């Protein structure tokens, strides 16, 4: 049951039925998809089984996961108007609603642009705007934060707040709970097609959710690790809880340093020791400039990647992260400057040769699947590169649990299984450098844990891992070094702590420190303040 104007966050492991629930809520199940629907879904007093989707779409809207596949008009304005035309509204009313929604979703400057030329965040806002223009009673969003950079995510949160103010209910399906949990009225956890837990977020997060594959908010995890019972949803709440606790124990002016020290998880895993006898730099980028036509993307980038480290590349969408890593295996050649991979100049070395040393696992595993079965898929690369080592490949199959899937078509696997196949293909030629492009996007907690242990194993073997990611919580946990790109240049390079402490660089790249870093910083400031006060008293 969803009450008018209520906002609900739906969470659960992959395959728990979140997307199917969304489709059932708008009538796509049973009218568009096959299968059997048992029970009833009522939307705004209408039984979805008895009303076709075109009768329901004005009452409930759904923003799907992939924004590209929902934008089918030539301009943003036409996109926003499409549903209104479907409703058969008069042109004057359409214009009125266009004005309203473009203001609400801040789409004014984009109205005459092609939706396919926008950034991921802008596309997401257009999709949402096209639904909101219909003035539905309820909006469903299926993993809306997955492809957004922090600025895009903030923009989306602002729209969701505006929706609440307008009395429009919303259901957000999301793996990254911390992105939105403090803004919703209820948290519903799905498990194997059932509602396992349902209630106010604080109450739900206080329960044992370990079997539901949830990526718990970092603050919740930290408080549990500390053995505390509170479940703060924001940094301010967490700070208040901890301050209260110290003051309760030690009075207004805590004197012992111990009471002000918290056991924060180590944000900076140490770089693995390089095997002796090897040159330490695996990739050297010197004064690289690159542009697509007139658009300069990299402007004088210098970077050295060491053996055995895990480097997170962060920055805005379109900030040059992917362009930079495409230089690491020669897919792109610099306009000026040079890139050396294990001493080979990428300008004069073929991509095939570099592919033996640099493995890529792309964000979308569907970009590379084409063989009849999983075994052939994984072995294609090493065979072409003449780097096939049966023992190593068998180890990979075992490592990624691909044994039972070996003879299956890769197209028929789940998205998580496809990702595992993609990781295995990236590693099949035993590369010294592995690049993972947005590896956690849309993935549940079991997958994130598995990925974390994979990164540790790769580093222990002396391989260099490069994470291209917006998921700073994951990057803070697994990368020992962050490189931040903004305006085509590296604006920060150091340990996660150092980079997050550089507020100027973070702002330039549109990034926000992780919640735990914010909490740690706020606690440190408060502790200093208290010590000072105690000293004065």
Interface residues with other proteins (CB under 8 A) are 26, 28, 32, 52-54, 57-58, 61-62, 64, 66, 68-70, 72-75, 78, 81-91, 94-95, 114, 116, 130-131, 326, 329, 331, 350-352, 355-356, 358-360, 362, 364, 366-370, 380-381, 384-385, 411, 425, 429
Closer residue to other proteins (CB): 89 or 285: 89
What HEC string does 344-410 produce? EECCCCCHHHHHCCEEEECCCHHHCCCCCCHHHHHHHHHHHCCCCCHHHHHHHHHHCCCHHHCCCCH
**What gap in Å lies between CA 449 and CA 281, rounded to an integer?**
28
Closer residue to other proteins (CB): 351 or 534: 351
Closer residue to other proteins (CB): 124 or 425: 425
- CB 480 to other proteins: min, Å: 25
**What gap in Å lies between CA 39 and CA 56, rounded to an integer?**
18
The kind and range of the H/E element at 63 are strand 60-63
- CB 427 to other proteins: min, Å: 11
- CB 177 to other proteins: min, Å: 26
Closer residue to other proteins (CB): 84 or 472: 84
**What gap in Å lies between CA 415 and CA 443, rounded to an integer?**
9
Closer residue to other proteins (CB): 46 or 534: 46
Closer residue to other proteins (CB): 181 or 427: 427
Report residue 331 CA to chain centroid gap: 25
Closer residue to other proteins (CB): 55 or 194: 55
- CB 164 to other proteins: min, Å: 22
Residue 288 and residue 298 in contact, taking contact as beta carbons nearer than 8 Å: yes
Q: Which long-range contacts (CB under 8 A, 24 or more apart) does 206-211 make?
A: 206/231
Find, among 242, 164, 181, 153, the residue nearest to 441 by Cα: 153
- CB 328 to other proteins: min, Å: 10
- CB 195 to other proteins: min, Å: 24
Residues ≥6 apart with Cβ < 8 Å to 159: 104, 105, 106, 125, 128, 132
Residues ≥6 apart with Cβ < 8 Å to 299: 289, 487, 488, 489
- CB 44 to other proteins: min, Å: 15
């Amino acid at each position: 049951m969803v009450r008018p104007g209520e906002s609900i966050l739906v969470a659960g492991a992959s395959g728990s039925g979140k997307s199917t629930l969304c489709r059932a809520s708008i009538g796509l199940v049973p009218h568009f998809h096959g299968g059997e629907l048992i029970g009833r879904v009522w939307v705004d007093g209408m039984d979805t089984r008895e009303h076709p989707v075109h009768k329901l779409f004005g009452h409930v809207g759904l923003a799907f996961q992939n924004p590209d596949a929902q934008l089918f008009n030539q301009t943003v304005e036409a996109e926003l108007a499409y549903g209104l035309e479907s409703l058969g509204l008069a042109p004057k009313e359409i214009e009125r609603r266009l004005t309203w929604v473009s203001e609400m979703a801040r789409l004014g400057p984009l109205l005459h642009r092609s939706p396919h030329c926008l950034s991921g965040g802008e596309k997401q806002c257009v999709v949402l705007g096209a639904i909101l223009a219909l003035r539905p009673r309820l909006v469903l969003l299926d993993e809306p934060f997955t492809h957004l950079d922090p600025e895009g995510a903030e923009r989306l949160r602002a729209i969701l707040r505006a929706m609440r103010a307008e009395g429009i209910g919303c259901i957000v399906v999301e793996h990254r709970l911390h992105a939105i949990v403090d803004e919703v009225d209820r948290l519903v956890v799905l498990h194997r097609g059932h509602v396992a837990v349902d209630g106010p977020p604080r109450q739900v997060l206080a329960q044992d959710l370990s079997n539901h594959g949830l990526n718990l908010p970092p603050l919740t995890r930290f408080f549990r690790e500390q053995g505390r019972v509170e479940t703060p949803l924001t940094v301010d709440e967490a700070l208040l809880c901890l301050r209260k606790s110290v003051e309760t124990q030690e009075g207004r002016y805590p004197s012992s340093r111990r009471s002000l020290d918290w056991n924060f998880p180590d944000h900076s895993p140490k770089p693995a020791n390089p095997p002796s006898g090897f040159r330490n730099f695996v990739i050297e980028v010197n004064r690289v400039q690159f542009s697509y036509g007139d658009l300069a993307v990299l402007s004088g980038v210098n970077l050295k990647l060491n053996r055995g480290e895990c480097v997170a590349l962060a920055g805005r969408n379109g900030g040059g992260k992917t362009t930079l890593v495409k230089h690491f295996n020669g897919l792109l050649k610099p306009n000026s400057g040079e890139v050396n991979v294990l001493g080979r100049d990428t300008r004069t070395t073929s991509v095939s040769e570099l592919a033996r040393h640099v493995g890529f696992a792309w964000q979308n595993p569907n970009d590379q699947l084409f063989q009849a079965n999983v075994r052939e898929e994984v072995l294609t690369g090493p065979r072409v590169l003449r780097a096939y080592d049966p023992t190593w490949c068998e180890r990979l199959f075992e490592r990624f649990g691909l044994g039972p899937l070996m003879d299956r078509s890769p197209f028929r696997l789940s998205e998580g299984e496809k990702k595992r196949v993609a990781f295995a293909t990236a590693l099949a030629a035993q590369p010294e450098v592995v690049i993972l492009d947005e590896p956690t996007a849309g993935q549940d907690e079991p997958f994130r844990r598995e990925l974390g242990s994979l990164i540790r194993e790769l580093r222990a073997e002396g391989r260099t891992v490069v994470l291209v990611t917006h998921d700073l919580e994951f990057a803070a946990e697994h990368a020992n070094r962050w490189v931040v790109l903004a305006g085509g240049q590296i604006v920060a390079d150091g340990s996660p702590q150092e980079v997050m402490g550089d507020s100027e660089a973070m702002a330039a790249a549109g990034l926000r420190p992780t919640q735990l870093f914010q909490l740690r910083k706020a606690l440190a400031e408060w502790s200093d303040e208290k010590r000072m006060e105690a000293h004065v008293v």
